[in-house]
Every structure is written in C-alpha cells, then in structure tokens.
Amino acid sequence: MKESSSILQTAKETILLESVAIAHLASLLDENFENAVNFILNSNGRVIVTGIGKSANIATKIVATFNSTGTPAIFMHAADAIHGDLGNVQENDVVICLSKSGNTPEIKVLVPLIKNYGNKIIAITGNIHSFLGKNADFPLNTFVEKEACSNNLAPTSSTTAQLVMGDALAVCLQDLRGFSSKDFAKYHPGGALGKKLYLRVSDLTKNNQVPQVQLESSIAEVIVEISEKRLGVTAVLKNTELVGIITDGDIRRMLSKTSEIKNITAQDIMGTNPKTISQNAMAIEALEKLESDSITQILVVDANHTYIGVVHLHDLIKEGIF
C-alpha cells in the first residue's frame, strides 16, 4: 500500500503532466482552427461530434458544451455510425471527429463515407499525419508528449487535450455569436446556475406574506405581526410610506433592557433607513446585499419605492442560489 506522500506525489505529477500538455496546445494552433470556427459559424447545419473509445466520451462533453453555448450539436458514436447512425448526418452538418491516433479502423471507414456525402470534417487528433489528419478539411493538432498514465498507455493527457480543444471551439463560437448570459439562462432554466441568471426578487416575494405595522403600533402588535408572518421582520410604515424596520433581534434587545413595554411603540425601537431592494432586481443581487450587509432579510420595494414585501435568506436557499 502506497504511503500518503507517495500518493500525493503521483497526483501532483499527473496534474503537472496534463497542465504541460494543455499549455502546449496553444503553440499548436494555426489557421486551421480559425477556419474551422468560421466554417461552423457560417454553416446552416449542426455540428456532429464523433469518436470511439475514450474519445467518444470526450465527444459527448463537447456536444454538451456546444449546445449550452448556442451551437446546436449532436453526438454520434463512430462504431454506430457505420452501422446505421450515419443517417444522423444531414446535408449542411459539420462533423468533428476525435481520435488520438487518427488511424483506428472505424475512423478509416467513417471518414470516406462522410466525405462522399460532401460534409466537411474537423479533426481533433494527436497525429495530424494520420489517415484522419490527412483527410480532414480542418485538422486540429492535439499532440501530447506523454500520457499522465505511468505506463504511458491510458488516455489521460490526450483526452484532456481533446476536451480543451473542444472548449476552445465552443468559446470562440459563443463570443462570435454574441451569446450573452441571458441566452445562457435559456438553456439552463432548471438548475441553480440558470436561476442566478433569470430569477428576480419578485419571483421570490410573490408567495411570501407582507409584514407591516404603523409607527404608532404597540410592541404587542409588532410581536404578533413578526410571529404570524414568520419572516423574522416587519416593515414600519407611516400610512403607506416606508420609514423603518423592526427585526426579531430588535425585540430581543429591547426585552433585555426593560420589562416595561406597555407604552413602547414601533417608532421607539425601529431601525431607520432600512435596507431595500427593487422587485425587478435579480435574485443574485439580493444575495449579494444580504452577504455584504450581514443580514438575513431585506425589504422589497417597487419603482415608486413603495414597500411590497420581504426577501429572506431562506428564500434564496430554497431556490438553490445560496
């Protein structure tokens, strides 16, 4: 059994070997990369990404990245392609083929078939002098000196290089398309990431109660309001104007100082100039304000600065934003 120091040393060597391989990719970029990006950008079809073995696994991730950044893509396994799935490739589609050696039997069968259909091929290969490299319209070089595997056999550095090259294509296309955070949110509506991009404060407050008391309200009324509305806070109004805030912490601090509360009113213990946020602000902005001010609730106002509700830290936790 390896000692801890030996395990950590192997891990560090693996990471460093792969980082060197990735850094080297920058020097391998040439006009083929730029031409490939422009061809995809101006294409009326989709991007079909294919490979076999570990390259196929990387291909599925590249497809996911393309789709989430505005470039329609589908995965096609190279072995399945030559047994019927080649029908996925339509007239205007661009095919990206991943292969470290560029000489696997499936690739040698697949490439001529794609070319016969008239589709352009982008190769992501560690050997641009291979069958794939020579027959691709846009060969992209992902050569690595050494796999991180101690036997220099298991695809490690080479598959990481393929993945990074795919990311580079996707990011370039994203920038050229002017793909914004709003566009990104359209493709990620269900997760916390998407919610950070589209969820607004009004979405959080619509189901919350709206605790409020008047300046002259008694402490008993304030306590009941905070307890019933279950948000740990109440706004203080002068008629309809927002003038203050009382938290459950304010109540506790008052009770620690005096037991004579009969004549105390809301205006006696309220905090003035309460922190507020617009109902149209993004939910992530509410979180940022809560964190920066070290508070757990913030009052919500409309465009006329009229009080309309409360956002609690728990609302943000419930939505997975915090």
The residue type of 284 is I
The full DSSP string for 257-319 is H-S--TT-BHHHHPEES--EEETTSBHHHHHHHHHHHT-SEEEEE-TT--EEEEEEHHHHHHT
Residue 245 CB neighbours (<10 A)? 25
Query: Tokens in use for 54?
Result: 């570990």
CA dihedral 86, 30, 184, 190 (to 10 degrees): 50
Please give the backbone phi and psi of residue 133, each rounded to the nearest 5 degrees, phi first.
Answer: -60, -40
Q: At 75, is the secondary structure helix, strand, or coil?
A: strand
**C-alpha torsion sign, points 15, 21, 22, 23:** positive
The answer on whether 129 is annotated among ligand-binding residues is no
Contact 177, 41 (CB under 8 A): yes
What stretches of the chain show up as alpha helix (H) in DSSP?
Answer: 4-28, 31-42, 54-68, 78-81, 105-117, 131-135, 157-177, 181-186, 192-198, 201-205, 219-229, 248-257, 266-269, 283-293, 313-318
**152 CB burial (10 A radius; 0-12, 13-18, 19+):** exposed
Residues making up the binding site? 77
Residues making up the binding site for Zn(2+)? 77
